[in-house]
């Protein structure tokens, strides 16, 4: 008899637990950020003790909760810089953060050594791929937002045979009330959202302090004039001019809402806005951990995420996404109009760049 299809319920519960604990660690660090907590990686992007601590915690919780013989994790950070001379103090601080978070939770009777922390971080070196199960983690997505005190997310997904089957986004600074509507902004004081999605089972949101989850759905707006759109906060991450030309073609009236990280997928999944546009500068290769969790959170809420040519995002190719030009997300009603506007703006861009 064939085995029943996997439900991934146990895995989703473990992912929620892991991301919530990591969020607690990050919140503590954000409150008391010291300059020495921030380092530059080889590509000059920032990394903090919280990125490392979050990655170590998530890897540890998943392994403890799901004691399966094969554990594969594709994650953003590695311990290379922490093993160099001069990093002892940073490693000590990360180890204390991880142990303090574990003991404040009280579920696990564990205390990690510095070497345990390095090993936990390095269990994220998997290459992923089309076969078997692979966890996909961005321990802090939107590190620049985290450093500014703005939006960031702990983003954790699971691939099974190359497909994203569950995803969790912990967004510690995201208001529970809708964002992007100025009239509600001042009321939106309560923050901390946890989004979770499982294939075929919808997307749910709850507060990070433990309210019961409620089902969310993308906006059902059909007229682009009523739509608002999200894009990266950082202009270096997405061509804002191109988004604005697309929005004009569509007849979108509202100005863009710029927020950091995969919190954009979460806000879209609950219908705060209707469109997410992302067009990296030429040559940039998107990583799977920047989109896996966000993608299932928005698609299980009724949204569609594709590349700029309308192809589904393919997470089975290893650590990178192989993409045509950009990523666009919206509801099923608006997608055909959006794709037309994207294609025509991209053609205009090519024409204006080519010599006469």
Ligand X SMILES: Nc1ncnc2c1ncn2[C@@H]1O[C@H](COP(=O)(O)OS(=O)(=O)O)[C@@H](OP(=O)(O)O)[C@H]1O
In the list Mg ion, ligand X, none, the entry touching 48 (Cβ below 5 to 8 angstroms by class) is: none
Is there binding between residue 290 and ligand X (CB under 6 A)? yes
* Residues 225, 253 contacting (CB under 8 angstroms): yes
Is there binding between residue 138 and Mg ion (CB under 5 A)? yes
Contacts of 45 (CB under 8 A, 6+ apart): 143
Q: What angle do CA 78, 11, 80 make, to 5 degrees?
A: 5
The 3-state DSSP class for residue 304 equals strand
Lookup result for tokens 């949204």: 303
Q: Is 307 annotated as a binding residue?
A: no
Which of 53, 124, 128, 142 is in the footprint of ligand X by CB under 6 A?
Answer: 142
Q: Is 290 annotated as a binding residue?
A: yes
Is there binding between residue 236 and ligand X (CB under 6 A)? yes
C-beta of 8 vs 135, nearer to ligand X: 135
Contacts of 4 (CB under 8 A, 6+ apart): none
Is residue 143 flagged as an active site residue? yes
**Of 37, 51, 122, 272, which residue is the catalytic one?**
51
Using CB under 6 A as the binding rule, the residues of this chain from 21 to 50 that contact ligand X are 45
Strands 73-75 and 275-278: unpaired
Q: Is 221 annotated as a binding residue?
A: no
d(CA 264, CA 275) in angstroms, rounded, equals 9
In the list ligand X, Mg ion, none, the entry touching 234 (Cβ below 5 to 8 angstroms by class) is: ligand X
CB under 5 A: which stretch of 73-81, 198-206, 273-281, 297-305 binds Mg ion?
73-81
Q: Is 43 annotated as a binding residue?
A: no
Is there binding between residue 290 and Mg ion (CB under 5 A)? yes
Contacts of 266 (CB under 8 A, 6+ apart): 153, 169, 171, 174, 193, 195, 205, 294, 297
Least distance to ligand X from the beta carbon of 38, Å?
12
CB under 5 A: which stretch of 31-39, 143-151, 196-204, 324-332 binds Mg ion?
143-151
Give catalytic residues, as residue numbers: 51, 143
């Amino acid at each position: 008899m064939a085995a029943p299809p996997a439900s991934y319920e146990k895995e989703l519960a473990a992912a929620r637990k892991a991301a919530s604990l990591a969020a607690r660690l990050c919140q503590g660090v954000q409150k008391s950020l010291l300059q020495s907590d921030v380092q530059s990686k080889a590509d000059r992007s920032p990394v903090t003790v919280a990125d490392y601590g979050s990655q170590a915690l998530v890897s540890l919780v998943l392994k403890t909760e799901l004691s399966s013989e094969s554990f594969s994790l594709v994650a953003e950070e590695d311990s290379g810089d922490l093993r160099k001379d001069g990093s002892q103090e940073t490693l000590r601080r990360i180890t204390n953060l991880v142990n303090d978070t574990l003991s404040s939770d009280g579920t696990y009777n564990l205390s990690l050594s510095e070497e345990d922390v390095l090993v936990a971080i390095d269990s994220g070196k998997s290459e992923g791929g089309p076969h078997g199960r692979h966890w996909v983690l961005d321990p802090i997505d939107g590190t620049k937002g985290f450093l500014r005190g703005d939006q960031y997310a702990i983003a954790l997904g699971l691939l099974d045979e190359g497909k994203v089957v569950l995803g969790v986004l912990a967004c510690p600074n995201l208001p529970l009330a809708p964002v992007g509507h100025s009239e509600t902004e001042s009321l939106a004081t309560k923050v901390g959202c946890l989004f979770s999605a499982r294939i075929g089972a919808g997307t749910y949101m709850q507060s990070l302090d433990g309210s019961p989850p409620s089902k969310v759905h993308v906006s059902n707006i059909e007229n682009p004039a009523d739509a608002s759109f999200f894009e990266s906060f950082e202009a270096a991450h997405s061509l804002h001019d191109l988004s604005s030309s697309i929005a004009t073609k569509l007849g979108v009236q509202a100005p863009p809402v710029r927020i950091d990280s995969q919190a954009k997928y979460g806000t879209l999944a609950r219908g705060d806005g209707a469109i997410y546009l992302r067009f990296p500068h030429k040559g940039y290769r998107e990583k799977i951990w920047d989109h896996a969790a966000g993608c299932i959170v928005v698609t299980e809420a009724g949204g569609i995420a594709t590349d700029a040519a309308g192809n589904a995002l393919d997470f089975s190719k290893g650590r990178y996404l192989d993409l045509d030009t950009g990523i666009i997300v919206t509801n099923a009603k608006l997608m055909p109009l959006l794709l037309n506007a994207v294609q025509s703006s991209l053609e205009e861009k090519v024409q204006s760049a080519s010599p006469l």
